[in-house]
Structure 1
Amino acid sequence: MTNDAYTGEVSPGGEAQTRTAGHLEITKVAVDPQMSNNCYLLRCTDTGDQVLIDASDEAPRLLELIGDGGLSAVVTTHQHWDHHRALAEVVRATGATVVAGEPDADAITEQTGVSVDHRVGEGDRIPVGTCSLVVIPVAGHTPGSICLLHDDGSGQPHLFTGDSLFPGGVGNTQGDSGRFQQLLEDVSTRIFDVLPDETWFYPGHGSDSTLGVQRPHLDEWRERGW
């Protein structure tokens, strides 16, 4: 399913969906019927270089999507177990570089046995051929959660948010008010205050949305406290 038919609604065992954003092709697939994690394969249409965001599960399915094009890197958005269960197998099969936010890197290695090659922070760029992803740290869901921004200059940026931002609210902070305040503050100041309403965002579970659709609800989320 491509471009005009893209809805962002995928389910484990179902078909992937693909759209293009400038010279970046974005393929979204859901894995694991229980957790229904989203994984995103990004491919530069100029060079064919590919980067995977979150090798969450079902390595054979992910490797099928990657195909013969090779994989430059796997970016893990945060340290939680459900987002890196296929990391070791995908890296072993492809030789891809492993990328994660600095504060979560050690935990990812402890849980997966995979070394993090590049520990990234605010403003770092992850190349995808002639395209790139800009790292936006957003703490609270975990200390080292990162969002990844692709802006092709078209006026509609594309943002991969992991479990930090969903349609309907920020990520789970397990009832910890300090973590919630940190996450909401980071999401507000580093995402909503900087990026336009047209920004399309892709979360770690469930459907996509735009910042414009979610922006009117920020005060409601703050008052709700989760």
Structure 2
Amino acid sequence: MTYHGSVHVGGPPAVHELASLIITKIAVGPAATNCYLLRDRLTGDQVLVDAADDAPKLVQLVNGSLAAVVTTHRHRDHWRALAEVAAATGAVTMAGAYDAGAIEVPTAVPLLDGDEIRIGRSLVTALHLAGDAPGAVALLYDDPKGHPHLFTGDCLSGKEPHGPAPLDLMTGPLADLPDETWVYPAHGDDSTLGAERKALGLQA
């Protein structure tokens, strides 16, 4: 089945199957926040990006053990289900070091720019993006058999509710990433960095 990246609350998840990593996208809660389950094909190890809401739905999605939950930033609509999901799965809590103190669920592993998170044989890198929140982090998966994949939280969230990122996010930590980089936002449909750069007037 072709991955389309379009999900809605109450609807089925969308599954993006890469060579080594399987990405499952689901929307939950009143803000229709996207959550992403990353599963390493070889080992089955899993990491969840944003335990936003509807803990039972997310625990069902995980359907087993969960190594960690990464919270992209401090806004409540991204961690309402964090305590319940972590308790149910034993997952380690991670968040940007500069936002961790503003999240009511304790952060076991504060993330700094460049920190690496291992998911079985796969690796994602935390990028500090002080856009929508001062301690926001994005996660970069540089697919060894394809283009990069970027989980941006609210820093690049499509049309609603936060709008496009400030220009400095596209010319700072993300500047060296190619236009083909796949963007997985916290709200709305997927995009690419090329499309986001064009929308911001950074290229023709």
Hey, what does 1:150 align to over in structure 2?
Answer: 141
| Paired AA for residue 42 in structure 2 | D
Q: Verify the 8 A CA contact 1:170 1:184 in the aligned structure 2.
A: no
CA distance in 2, matches of 1:85, 1:95: 17
Q: Which runs of 4+ in 1 moved over 4 A?
A: 168-173
- Output the TM-score relative to the length of structure 2: 0.93
Aligned counterpart in structure 1 of residue 27 of structure 2, from 26, 30, 37: 30
Structure-2 separation of matches of 1:164 and 1:170: 11
- Structure 2: how far apart are the matches of 1:24 and 1:107? 31
The number of residue pairs the alignment matches comes to: 202
1:22-171 alignment, distance < 5 Å: 22-32=19-29, 34-68=30-64, 70-108=65-103, 111=104, 114-167=105-158, 171=162
Q: Identity of paired residues, percent?
A: 48
Match of 1:208 among 182, 190, 194: 190
Structure 1 residue matching 2:169: 3-state secondary structure: helix
What is the TM-score with the length of structure 1 in the denominator? 0.84
Question: Contact (CA 8 Å) 2:86, 2:92: kept in 1 or not?
Answer: yes
Call closer, same or farther: CA 1:81–1:170 in 2, change over 3 Å.
closer
Aligned mates of 2:59, 2:161 — CA distance in 1: 30
Supply the RMSD in Å over aligned alpha carbons: 1.9
Q: Post-superposition shift, 1:154?
A: 2.8
* Equivalent in the alignment of 1:190: 173
Distance 1:55 1:119, change over 3 A: same
Closer, same or farther in 2 for the Cα pair 1:215/1:186, shift >3 Å? Answer: closer
The answer (yes or no) to whether the contact 2:160–2:187 under 8 Å persists in 1 is: no
Which of 1 and 2 has greater Rg?
Answer: 1
Match of 1:41, SS? strand
1:20, CA displacement in angstroms?
A: 1.6
- Does the aligned pair in 2 maintain the 1:164–1:170 contact within 8 Å? no
Alpha-carbon distance, 1:170 to partner: 10
Unaligned runs of 5+ in 2: none
